[in-house]
Structure 1
């Protein structure tokens, strides 16, 4: 999507408000601020939005500072058509009859009655009140495309309503991975029944590996290694996310999201409460269990689980021959069938191509305002404000579980970036991508957009630029309607699959550069409920309108509209799908 650029007046208003919030504003600065707000209604709207989002996103101290600032700013009652902040002595403020009758009094009463919620809630009330004192109706100033007078959402609406620009058929409305429980993520000399291949999604039902090695990853983050060298592995995927094994050898590894995973056999149910264990079932249904890491709880198939359960810990091995027995027969050392299992798996998985991204940023920066210092790899410099490389980026770093990646994706840190209030941060890529070569470039990132007010400015996404040119080249975004939208040039939008709001998505982008043909962009978004995505999808969620790119792109920008908050994490750039969608392995 085309990125909105702040005017010089908006940038100056932001600087003055930041000075006010930090307590560094001078009397001259206050006069300048009052003058700007007096003369420009659009700047008054911008100021309200800025302070509101500051209260929402900053920590408690900053929220209190925001409330204090609006306590100090008193609007001139003599001005009927505009708002003029004036700083007054405390006594004068208390005597102001408008202030006595305002919502500020309600806030104080709420405090006394115990219904006051939090500092940022109070700040929001202060903002609403200040506007109501003089009857001002705030509305956000229209954002503009970098080189066009057309509003972003107006352009989106025109494209969506244009019958000639409807999304191509075969997009994600009928997604094949719907309700899939797992995916085949690797195979070596694997023969499946029914016939399967790496990347296929698996649904509830039976599956047999007749020979070779196979690896499955479930939606909940469980990795299953199937060893059919000596006997076929016969299993059934259940809708409750458990797996029934009727024959063969399976090595199971569960990360924290897969805790409680159950592997069931004719004689025993093995519930993972640790990390890694192996089970082998022979022709008679007898089950060998070996714990490699962590611990498991064993529940006999035909006995009451509360009084007949047992536990195995690292190094323990037992065979269960009776579906009613409380405990299995302890085995000294490692059972013969498991002795070379780990070494064989390591040897075979070393054959799997290991494709790395050419650029990566996991936003593992100190919590607080995002610094301009470089992080990750594959970039020429750190993040900066868009078009202003000498200024700090317009984002903050948060820590927590707001951006939870799919359980099957290689994990990063729990820190992520947050953008708001038409913020945009830029970073220059180290490698150039000429448009006169046949080449595919893949991008992926985690994103969660939360809308404060659904309107024309509640979009967010990733844009592609040249660092020496203000014109946007490409873009992918979740728009105001929560559609996945692809932008391939001025007035060239295409809206794809609708995405449920306030959800963390792994967004994957493919930029197809062609010398003698038109270039294009493809995008898909995957949620926590989607199975592992090992190979490039046959159908993408959103496909751009083919175009001839005028120049290569050298810069990416994360951006967010006025009325939304967007979090970004785990940005990867690479030559292949696998390089930007890494499947989580045992040691990750």
Structure 2
């Protein structure tokens, strides 16, 4: 869908929460002048924001009506599960704007009252994705309305990307993928790699103890660390008992002995340093290739630069694939041809073969054209990652409304602290254009067999071929990026569950030209907020809808990035 450049620019600003009042007014004027823009704009908003429309800061009647129609058409498959829900706006004060209340302007009350009498209205409103506009700042807060209760979780400031031979204290057992909150970390031995929310990366070599203060500041009590702060992560600060070191766009090492004596080695770029509590005018600059030793009194002495680089430490760790950690794997490794579903028992971590949905598991649309067999083909995916999938057996899913379920041997428990990843390879054989795209969807959903409709977690794309994550209570988080057409893509999702606090869900889709590193990406296409799930997911549901045949392969579920990602076992 192509818009005039200015409309595209304004729409992106609104969807990203960066539009000013002037931008909003300009877009509304442009819509009024060209009614043909409204349907296209509606499709974009429906896919990207879904039902957050109700809280969008513009109210062109034609656009609102078209969005409602688009949502009703595109999301009809979820109607059955929410028909008994209600949406109550009576307690919402039109005149109040706060962080904890959703504001529904009076100009929407007539619209809500009109559609609330139909099943479509319940579908549209009960599935609100919860965009809350703070008009004082012109920003959009994506926390779902259903979860506006203050979360107990302190916002994480870093992620543990990689660990090798790490020995932690008995009361702290970190693992790859863990999200780290402010606090103290002690490493008795081994090496760990952290990435901070601000973009800086750090290697920590035990024995060491550091305090995570913020996304741009740590305290090193003792031990060795190497910091790499590329463009955009400048200003990362390392505080020791004797000094404060601040990067100026660089890579540097800090070594702290137990008596507080500190060495600083600049591997690239520059750092500033000063004695603890020294005034700004006493700050000094250290350049690449230089090193200093700072004694317990804060006095610096030049020393030869002798620290390994960040990449050298990672090479020593020698990150490699950990497919041995997989908890479930389906490679569809069968001979080409027709395979009865009860014969689809290959793989690990499953409690039975694939099957069609049961009548009690069906939602709208009621049409289910799932055949009672698999069609297995070979060599029909172009795969650029080091994985056998795409060359041997793979599942060819026919056009239509096709749904397959497979039970897991070990459930994914979201009522405890833990991290779970999955990956899946997908190839769209063709991409319909125009209105023909309205029914094209593909999803991988985790559900609970004994409580099929209460909570679920779904990763996929809808009519706009944009990645999204949908959770129980019909909350949806979507990406503005569009999947590359008619090529093999690799889906990778991450679920961070917490026994007490906010869960986090991440989703990224890789195209054939995208490389995979030894660690998860710094940027995901989709990241959730305000999610609280407690289910024990014990099955996966593969859903394919539309006129397009699709190829599916290499479904992996595991506890770490390296267990599910087909990484090349070389670093940088």
Q: Tell me the TM-score normalized by structure 2.
A: 0.44
> Which structure has the bigger radius of gyration?
1
Q: Tell me the TM-score normalized by structure 1.
A: 0.43
